[in-house]
Amino acid sequence: MVRGAYKSRSKVRKRIRTPGGRLVVHYKNKNKQIRRCAKCKKIIKQRVSRPMQELCPKCLKEQIKLSVR
C-alpha cells in the first residue's frame, strides 16, 4: 500500500520497470511554475494580493496611467 502522503495530486506518478521485471511507481513532486508578468514576461519575485497581480510593478504603473486617461 502507498502512504497517504503520496496519494495527493501534488505528486507526479511515474511507472518504472525494475531489472527484475516488476512495474513500480515512483512519486515525485511537481515542478513549480515561475510567476511571470503577463505583459513584459519578466519574472515576478514577490507574491502580492492586489487586483492585476499578474503584472510586475512597472507594467502595473503603466496600466493604471492608461486606465485613468
Mind listing the pLDDT tens digit for each residue in 20-68? 999 999 999 988 888 899 999 999 888 788 788 889 989 999 999 998 8
Helix H or strand E encompassing 14 = strand 11-17
pLDDT at 20: 96
Q: State how many domains the chain has.
A: 1
Per the structure, the complete domain to which residue 48 belongs is given by 4-68
More confident residue, 21 or 6: 21
Closest by Cα among 57, 53, 29, 56 to 42: 56
pLDDT band at 12 (very low <50, low <70, confident <90, very high): very high
